[in-house]
Amino acid sequence: MSLLFEAITSEYTIHLCVLCGLYLILAQSLNLTFGLGQLFNLAHVASYAVGAYTTALLATEAESPFWVCVTASVLTSGVFALLLGAIALRLSNDYFAIGTLAFSSVVSSLLINWRSVTHGVLGIPGIPRPDLLGADLYQNSHFLALMSIFVVVTQVLFYLLYSSPFGRALRGLAEYEQAALALGRDTRLIRNFAFFFSSAGAGLAGSLFAYYLSYIDPSSFSLGEMVFILTIVIVGRPGSYWGVIAATIFLVLLPEPLRFLQIDSAYLGPARQLIHATLLFSVVWWKRRVLFPQQRQV
């Protein structure tokens, strides 16, 4: 019994739980645009980065309190999405994906090359853990408790959004845009809202990520990270709330048994990527008609 308790409260288990929480927020927020809205948004990781860097800069340079940093990250990522949406939402289907990917590359380049602000590839170290209600958040178990509150609140909010009239309108325009327009729905406005909420969610995840690691650098926000979040949504079935929750837990934990095998650490990372890539390819191939339905037009 005590062994079980020890295993549950071990740093390793807590780390996995924090990761699950982070990816739950990231995947569920991407699910709003990619799943419900069928927008092939490849700039989600850029919103995640914007949120993380906003918190990192405010917490280290301006020594801003936790709530200010989190709120600023959420809003900055949301506004970033509105700016991106003003351009990218004019593009259709595949061009939208290319447009968001290009935007993501621009953000990635800025993180590396705007050294005076982002410190380039060296990243931003020394992000202090927040000091809330006297709790020692330098203890990972305490941080996990804080994280859990954010995860539950965001999951409930996303659940309400999914089943709300807004979610319904988003699903409708994704299925048949002209029919939604013919019912008087402003499809561009709905997509902008979806983009805002989705990006704000990524911004929150970025903020929590920065606090958790106390250090961020551009390598955490690579295209590989974007592909992993996308894999979660695809495996969980785009648009499915519970599917994405299950897929997040499954995919975050899936490569963990590899750690206990006698595998050279040089092969561990690529092995993990190989598992994810194989899974992504298999699901896309198996469910291609569901994932990429024929667009209906007048």
Residues forming contacts to other proteins in the complex (CB under 8 A) are 160-161, 163-169, 171-172, 175-176, 178-187, 296, 298
Pick between residue 26 and residue 180 the one whose CB is nearest to other proteins: 180
- For residues 242 and 248, give the distance between their C-alpha atoms in angstroms, rounded to a whole number: 10
Least distance CB 290 / other proteins (angstroms): 10
- For residues 263 and 259, give the distance between their C-alpha atoms in angstroms, rounded to a whole number: 8
Query: In angstroms, how far is CA 47 from the centroid of its own chain?
Result: 8
No. of helices (H) and no. of strands (E), the chain: 14, 2
Pick between residue 127 and residue 233 the one whose CB is nearest to other proteins: 233
Residue 204's CB is within 10 A of a number of other CB atoms, namely 28
Pick between residue 145 and residue 183 the one whose CB is nearest to other proteins: 183
Pure H helices in the chain: 2-8, 11-30, 44-61, 66-88, 93-113, 115-118, 140-163, 165-175, 177-182, 187-213, 223-236, 241-253, 265-286, 288-291
Pick between residue 20 and residue 233 the one whose CB is nearest to other proteins: 233
Kind and range of the H or E run holding 131: strand 131-132
Least distance CB 157 / other proteins (angstroms): 8
Least distance CB 195 / other proteins (angstroms): 17
Rounding to the nearest 10 degrees, give the CA dihedral for residues 177, 178, 180, 182.
170
Token pair belonging to 221: 């926000």
SS3 130: coil
Pick between residue 109 and residue 178 the one whose CB is nearest to other proteins: 178
Pick between residue 15 and residue 168 the one whose CB is nearest to other proteins: 168
Pick between residue 38 and residue 108 the one whose CB is nearest to other proteins: 38
Least distance CB 35 / other proteins (angstroms): 12
Token pair belonging to 146: 């804080």
Residue 278 identity: T
Token pair belonging to 109: 């380049």
Least distance CB 188 / other proteins (angstroms): 9
Least distance CB 85 / other proteins (angstroms): 17
288 CB-contact burial (10 Å; exposed 0-12 / middle 13-18 / buried 19+): exposed
Least distance CB 94 / other proteins (angstroms): 21
